[in-house]
Structure 1
Amino acid sequence: MSMSASEMEDLLVSWEEFNLSEGFSNISSVDATVCVTAFDRGALFHSMCVLYTFIFVVGLAANALVLWVNVRAQREPGPRPETHVYIAHLAAADLCVCATLPVWVGSLAQGGHWALGEAACKLTHLLFSVNLFGSIFFLACMSVDRYLGVARRGDGEGGARGRRVRRGVCAGVWLLALAASLPDCYFLRTVKAAHGGAVLCRPVYPGDDPVRWMVGVQLSFILLGFALPFPVIAVFYALLARAFSRRPPSAAAACSPALEQERRVSRRVILAYIVVFLGCWGPYHGVLLADALSQLGLVPLSCGLENALYLALHLTQCLSLFHCCFNPILYNFINRNYRYDLMKAFIFKYSTRTGLARLIDASNASDAEYSAVAVENPPQI
């Protein structure tokens, strides 16, 4: 939830007019915007409420299902996919991001008014930001881990040592996500608008050079949220696709049409990983970069650009959160092993005394045979 140029201007206009005596112990006074709004902010906020509600319902249900199935499957004997640890943490991060959306919906429905106090302002932003960064970092970790697994001919770094390494990586990811989130959350304050009586949850940067502070936070978000993870994701998935294409099939599977189809599907799924990440996060970080450049004076800031940036920041921020809905589909629902785990979880729970359970076991046995061939060539993504 970054601060836009127009919101920063609101703070700067009345920077020396702080009012701490109107019943708000930590609330300062902010004037109205400098530029005339060229669009209906009420319509924008209501549209965002609808989009956030959709993301909340779909993302919460999908990621809760993914997390439940993965946790349940880990309790059962037998080998698990190497990336299942990252997938479980990714689902947990996306689930927490979705869980904060009703708070933003409530604020947007009141025209941006924040009624929960400064402590809730900081804690909600921190929960949202930590899990947002965590989700992005786990996607990057999965791309590296999957390529290394194929580069080592599918055996990866298995056993207890491999599990310890991945758990250590997950712990490091959460610590890095926390460190990336702290600067912006530290400066958050409840800010009272001088006109209208609304209370806003906004960062208030030090008075010596607030613009440069804001730009520094924005650039760090761009660096950690996109400029570093996206090349990692794109490069390692490109290497993974090339490894699928170059690896010679075994003699037994050389003429298998099913194997060639599996390779084509795997390459398309890899392309989808890259395109979805770029499509969700690229526009938001592009607009955020334009906003930062305008604050530094490198791009002339007119009222028209001000309005365009304000509108674009809010809309692309909504677009970026759709990754919470896409991740369960891309990394779980299209995976055959996950679909088996999902089907087994429900049918075994409610139909353990029927022949359906034995039918699924037989089906999974044939899938295991097929996966043995696929691991030698392109493994299940």
Structure 2
Amino acid sequence: MKKSLLVLLIALVLPTLSIQDKDDRRKHGKNGSGCPLNPRTYNGQRIFKGSSSDNCTSDSSQPPDELELISRHAKEYLQGILSTRLLPAAYVLIMAVGIPSNAFIVACLSGRARTCSGAVLYLSLATSDLLLLVVLAFRVHYHLHGNDWVFGEAACRLVTACFYGNVYCSVQALMCVSVMRYLAVARPFLYKGLPKRFCATLATVVVWLACGAAMAPELLVRHSYQLRGLEITTCHDVLPYSEGPYTFLVPYRLGMIVAGLLVPAVVIAFAYGSIVRHLGRSSCDWSLYVRASTLIFVIFVLCFTPCAVIHVLHYVKLYTALQDHFYSYYGMAVCLCCFHSCLDPFLSYILSRTTTSKLHVVSIRKKPVGMSVFI
């Protein structure tokens, strides 16, 4: 009799404990499978078709097709005049100036690339700038139509990868050009003995392959999402960073900004600083070239430093505190990077007009040494 009463008591208590355990899990924001009821994401929380935003479904491994914004900063940016009017207007101006000028540079240098080492690097720079400006046409359409992407998911991934890939490729090409100029001025005997055209071609191929491989992760994740309430489909602007395959994007993009912008900026600063110092010791008057080199470096810093700094701040705040209010500033900083793409042909022309075919540099014995270079 006592055993029967004990079995009956256990049968009555266990369901009650199970119910209490489920209630405790709901209070802590999780269901029995460990899936968050309200997953915290960057700019929005994911919503699955056929389910409410407050419950996880059994097919949670499928990619979400709809997001709900949870940040007022994102809504203000997507609906504000900055992203729908000012940025596309700036992009149109950049394209109007940059596409013809870079196309002209590509046409002029195509015939010289086989004989001139410097032409290879300048051709690579002009090509990457031209591709970047062509891709901007899709971004302009996207912004002018209220940040509503209509070209499909595959086009969104491709445009995103080409846009950022060509930004990094342009910076790497500028770094290669600065190294070439540094060797010609500061290390003339080493520069004279190098197989210059082979080195320039090898550097160009390595830069393009590296930038292409670095953009592969952008092609592997979804970038376009419908936004509940705004009735638009964004491309790259709103992503659920705390979900599955997106968690690696924050450290990946921080690594890209360091390797793609900060490291080249240090190399370019060292190269131009050394060029100015060595030309200052020359017996010839290189004041025009020094001023031109300084102008080019200052414009580089003004165009790319805000993007690098704000990019790092944005992803650090996103990674540590899930705050995204730096994103609107990041959009303006990226616009500055694009301005450099339309200025590159004119800056190269200014620099070429301040030099002759003979560059006199200072040797160890303080005697001028003549050398033909293309800088």
Q: Give SS of 1:113's match.
A: coil
Instruction: Find out whether 1:47 has 2:86 as its counterpart.
Output: yes
Classify 1:295/1:65 alpha carbon distance in 2 versus 1 (closer, same or farther; 3 Å).
same
**What is residue 326 of structure 1 aligned with on the other side?**
343
Within the candidate set 41, 44, 49, 1:19 is matched to 49
Q: CA deviation at 1:105?
A: 0.5
Q: CA deviation at 1:101?
A: 0.8
Instruction: Find out whether 1:215 has 2:250 as its counterpart.
Output: yes
Q: CA deviation at 1:96?
A: 0.3
Q: Percent identity?
A: 24
Classify 1:311/1:155 alpha carbon distance in 2 versus 1 (closer, same or farther; 3 Å).
same
**What is residue 328 of structure 2 aligned with on the other side?**
311
Matches within 5 A, 1:239-318: 239-247=274-282, 249=283, 259-260=284-285, 263-297=286-320, 301=323, 306-307=324-325, 309-318=326-335
Matches within 5 A, 1:158-197: 161-197=195-231
**What is residue 64 of structure 1 aligned with on the other side?**
103
Classify 1:141/1:47 alpha carbon distance in 2 versus 1 (closer, same or farther; 3 Å).
same
Matches within 5 A, 1:195-210: 195-202=229-236, 203=239, 205=241, 207-208=243-244, 210=246
Within the candidate set 153, 157, 178, 1:122 is matched to 157
Q: CA deviation at 1:273?
A: 2.5
Rounded to whole Å, the distance in 1 between the matches of 2:124 and 2:245 is 38
**What is residue 353 of structure 1 aligned with on the other side?**
none
Instruction: Find out whether 1:148 has 2:173 as its counterpart.
Output: no
Q: CA deviation at 1:190?
A: 2.1
Rounded to whole Å, the distance in 2 between the matches of 1:71 and 1:337 is 23
**What is the RMSD of the two structures over their aligned residues, measured on CA atoms?**
3.1
Q: CA deviation at 1:337?
A: 8.8
Rounded to whole Å, the distance in 1 between the matches of 2:148 and 2:214 is 26
Rounded to whole Å, the distance in 1 between the matches of 2:360 and 2:270 is 26
Q: CA deviation at 1:38?
A: 5.9
Q: CA deviation at 1:242?
A: 1.4
Q: Which has the higher contact order (CA 8 A, sep 6+)?
A: 1
Classify 1:337/1:283 alpha carbon distance in 2 versus 1 (closer, same or farther; 3 Å).
closer
Classify 1:164/1:207 alpha carbon distance in 2 versus 1 (closer, same or farther; 3 Å).
same
Amino acid at match of 1:62: S
Stretches of structure 1 lacking an aligned partner (at least 5 in a row): 1-6, 250-258, 339-366
Q: Give SS of 1:296's match.
A: helix
Classify 1:333/1:60 alpha carbon distance in 2 versus 1 (closer, same or farther; 3 Å).
farther
Rounded to whole Å, the distance in 2 between the matches of 1:91 and 1:119 is 26
TM-score, with length taken from structure 2: 0.75
Q: CA deviation at 1:129?
A: 2.4
- Residues 184 and 217 of structure 1 are in contact (CA less than 8 Å); yes or no, is this contact kept in structure 2? no
Rounded to whole Å, the distance in 2 between the matches of 1:88 and 1:109 is 32
Query: Cα deviation per residue 1:218-238 (whole Å; 9 max; x = unaligned)?
Result: 312311222211000100111
Classify 1:101/1:216 alpha carbon distance in 2 versus 1 (closer, same or farther; 3 Å).
same
Q: CA deviation at 1:179?
A: 1.9
Query: Cα deviation per residue 1:356-375 (whole Å; 9 max; x = unaligned)?
Result: xxxxxxxxxxx65xx36589
Rounded to whole Å, the distance in 1 between the matches of 2:360 and 2:144 is 54
Within the candidate set 346, 353, 371, 1:336 is matched to 353
TM-score, with length taken from structure 1: 0.73
Amino acid at match of 2:106: L
Amino acid at match of 1:181: M
Instruction: Find out whether 1:104 has 2:132 as its counterpart.
Output: no
- Residues 64 and 95 of structure 1 are in contact (CA less than 8 Å); yes or no, is this contact kept in structure 2? yes
Q: Give SS of 2:48's match.
A: coil
**What is residue 363 of structure 1 aligned with on the other side?**
none
**What is residue 35 of structure 1 aligned with on the other side?**
72
Q: Give SS of 1:30's match.
A: strand
How many aligned positions are there?
315
**Larger-Rg structure:** 2
Classify 1:154/1:97 alpha carbon distance in 2 versus 1 (closer, same or farther; 3 Å).
farther
